[in-house]
């Protein structure tokens, strides 16, 4: 599970805040009995994942769909939010 631990607000679109992710925390469910080598590789990958989230300017907004252009938002049929959002 990846949790956002710090963000900065970059602006408002139609009264909805848009935020940039500044730092995350990765909660892992690791298996028991990993060898030293496996633990090292696991840590390496986790750190890479963390660096990706923190240095690559990822944004989110609770109330405005930033993944769809306005044209598509207006033409989209009614659907629950998770269906309308576009992981482009």
| Partners of 24 in beta bridges | 4
Rounded Cα distance between 79 and 88, Å, is 18
* In the complex, minimum distance from the CB of residue 57 to another protein, in angstroms, rounded to a whole number: 7
The stretches of the chain forming alpha helices (DSSP H) are 36-55, 70-75, 81-84
Q: What 3-state DSSP class applies to 43?
A: helix
Binding string to another protein for residues 23 to 52, with x set by CB under 8 A, is what?
------------------------------
d(CA 69, CA 29): 37
Closer residue to another protein in complex, CB, 42/67: 67
* The one segment of 27-35, 38-46, 68-76, 77-85 that binds another protein by CB under 8 A: 68-76
Shortest Å distance, C-beta 23 to another protein: 17
- Residues in touch with another protein (CB under 8 A): 10-15, 18, 20, 57, 59, 66-67, 69-71, 87-88
């Amino acid at each position: 599970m990846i949790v956002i631990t710090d963000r900065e607000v970059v602006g408002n679109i139609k009264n909805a805040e848009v935020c940039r992710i500044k730092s995350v925390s990765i909660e892992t469910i690791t298996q028991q009995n990993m060898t030293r080598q496996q633990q090292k590789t696991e840590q390496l990958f986790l750190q890479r994942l963390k660096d990706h989230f923190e240095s690559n300017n990822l944004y989110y907004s609770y109330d405005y769909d930033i993944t769809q252009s306005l044209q598509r938002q207006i033409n989209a049929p009614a659907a629950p939010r998770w269906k309308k959002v576009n992981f482009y």
